[in-house]
Structure 1
Amino acid sequence: MKPYKIPESVLVVIHTADLHVLLIERADKPGYWQSVTGSLDAPDEPLLQTAARELFEETGIVADGERIALRDWRLSNVYEIYPVWRHRYAPGVTQNTEHVFSVEVPRNIAITLSPREHLNYVWLPYLEAADKCFSSSNAEAVLLLPQQLRDFGAG
């Protein structure tokens, strides 16, 4: 039997300097577009490691910490797990805590999707990307992108 998913995850908003956002289409729900997401592999897995692992698994992008550096927004969302995916979690688990990260990449970076997880990808201006996200927390994160980048620039 497959172990239950840990109800703690990361969301990684991938963007270019000019605020185009990469969205990927779920293989298990065609038409559902999102940023990179994924649960911790172990309860003690560091969030930054989870974000880097999921970024690589889902897009082939390697966060090297220098040219491609993940930014921890120190923002988390608690949301109801969609009923269609609750079977992946232990009985009685209905909420997930999602930690938000972003990563700026060059527009011409190679994207290699995991065919088991995703069907397609698209680059969109951030407002269009927010409209296309099926998850409200993902859409909100995309809309916060300009402010987060200003805050990081000031820090």
Structure 2
Amino acid sequence: MTGHKIPVSVLVVIHTADGQVLLIERADAPGFWQSVTGSQDEGETLEQTAIREVREETGLDAAAFELTPWGIETRYEIYERWRHRYAPGVTHNTEHVFGLKLPAPLPVQLAPREHLRYEWLPWDLAAERCFSPSNAAAIRLLPGRL
């Protein structure tokens, strides 16, 4: 293990049946709102990564709800400010989208080092608030998946 992040990640859009979406604000970039995201650990499947990241970032057990791979992968350039986390020369990441459907907006337990606060928002407002274009695009697909 090199200590560098693997440039493969998950994006988990946590939502309710009526289209409310959970967004969390990054502690290392206040004002940057996003869905649950995280890099794959060595030996994990993408689903295991999604379950682990949801637990770490929200305290929720994704396995207890409806976790669905959306079949979307986006390759994007890693923001300069976060490239030091990856091996030298790594500039791009491949993100795999999942949806996690909850019965209702639930309170979450944020990881204080990672996130400052959370909000449940209607999907259209959540998409507008996301700093990541791929995150916003995934949320905009939600109505067709409900």
Q: Give the TM-score normalised by structure 1.
A: 0.90
Equivalent in the alignment of 1:125: 122
Correspondence 1:85-124 to 2 at 5 A: 85-124=82-121
**How far apart are residue 108 of structure 1 and its match?**
4.3
Equivalent in the alignment of 1:5: 5
Distance 2:141 2:105 in 1: 24
Contact 2:20 2:105 survives alignment (8 Å)? no
Q: What whole-Å deviation, never above 9, does each CA across 1:126-151 have from its counterpart, x for those lacking one?
A: 000000000000000000111233xx
Distance 1:110 1:57 in 2: 14
Distance 2:93 2:82 in 1: 11
Distance 1:26 1:63 in 2: 20
Q: How many residues align?
A: 146
Correspondence 1:68-79 to 2 at 5 A: 68-79=65-76
Distance 1:17 1:63 in 2: 15
Distance 2:94 2:63 in 1: 26
Contact 1:13 1:102 survives alignment (8 Å)? yes
Backbone CA RMSD of aligned residues: 1.4
Q: Which of residues 120, 134, 137 in structure 2 aligns to 1:140?
A: 137
Contact 1:28 1:117 survives alignment (8 Å)? yes
Contact 1:73 1:148 survives alignment (8 Å)? no
Is the partner of 2:18 in helix, strand or coil?
A: coil
Q: Normalized per residue, which structure has more strand?
A: 2
Unaligned runs of 5+ in 1: 150-155
Distance 2:105 2:12 in 1: 18
Unaligned runs of 5+ in 2: none
Identity across the alignment (%): 61
**How far apart are residue 41 of structure 1 and its match?**
1.1
Distance 2:80 2:145 in 1: 31
Is the partner of 2:31 in helix, strand or coil?
A: coil
Distance 1:144 1:118 in 2: 25
Matched, 1:50 2:56: no
Distance 1:108 1:74 in 2: 25
Matched, 1:80 2:80: no
Distance 2:135 2:105 in 1: 23
Matched, 1:35 2:57: no
Is the partner of 1:64 in helix, strand or coil?
A: helix
**How far apart are residue 110 of structure 1 and its match?**
2.7
Distance 1:127 1:99 in 2: 21
Equivalent in the alignment of 2:18: 18
